[in-house]
Amino acid sequence: MPQLDRRQLIAGTAALAALAATSGHLKAAEVMEHNHGHNPYAELIKSSIDCLEKGRICQAHCLESFKAKDTELAKCLEQVVQMMAAVDALNQLAISGSKYVKEFAGVCQKICLDCAEECKKHAKKHNTCKDCMDA
C-alpha cells in the first residue's frame, strides 16, 4: 500500500466525508454497528499522530536554536505551533467520529500546507524541518 503524506490524507478524508454525508443511506448507529467499532478515520488518526510527533520534534529543534541565540527558525516555530494545534483538533474530531471532520479537514489542510511551505525553506539545512515537511 503506498504511503500518503498528511496533505493527501486530509484531502482524501475530506472527499470521503463528503461522500458519506451525501449518501444518507445509513443512520449513524447503523454505520457504527456495521463497522463493528472500526473508526472510518483510522488512517487519518494514525497519520495525524505521526504528524504531531514530527511537529513536536521540530518545535523542540526551534527552541534549541533560540537558546543558541539563532532566531532563523522563528517563522518555522510559529507555523509548526499552528499546525500542531490544527492537527491535534482534527485528530480529536476524527477519533470521536465528529460530523465536522470534513469541514475542519479543509481548514487543517491549508494550515499544514503553510507549515510545509515554511519547512521547505529550511529542509536542506535541517533534517528536522524536512521530516516535518514530509509528514
> In this structure, are residues 105 and 14 in contact, taking their beta carbons and an 8 Å threshold?
yes
**CA pair distance 75, 60, nearest whole angstrom:** 14
| Domain boundaries along the sequence of the chain | 6-134
Residue 81 exposed, middle or buried by CB count within 10 Å (0-12, 13-18, 19+): middle
Please choose, from the candidates 38, 40, 30, 52, the residue with its C-alpha nearest in 3D space to the C-alpha of residue 99.
40
Closest CA to 111 of 19, 40, 48, 38: 48
- Supply the pTM of this predicted model: 0.72
Confidence of residue 115 (pLDDT cuts 50, 70, 90): very high
CA angle 104, 117, 96 (to 5 degrees): 20
Give tens-digit pLDDT for 15-29.
444 434 433 333 444
Q: Give 61-106 pLDDT, tens digit per residue.
A: 999 999 999 999 999 999 999 999 999 999 999 999 999 999 999 9
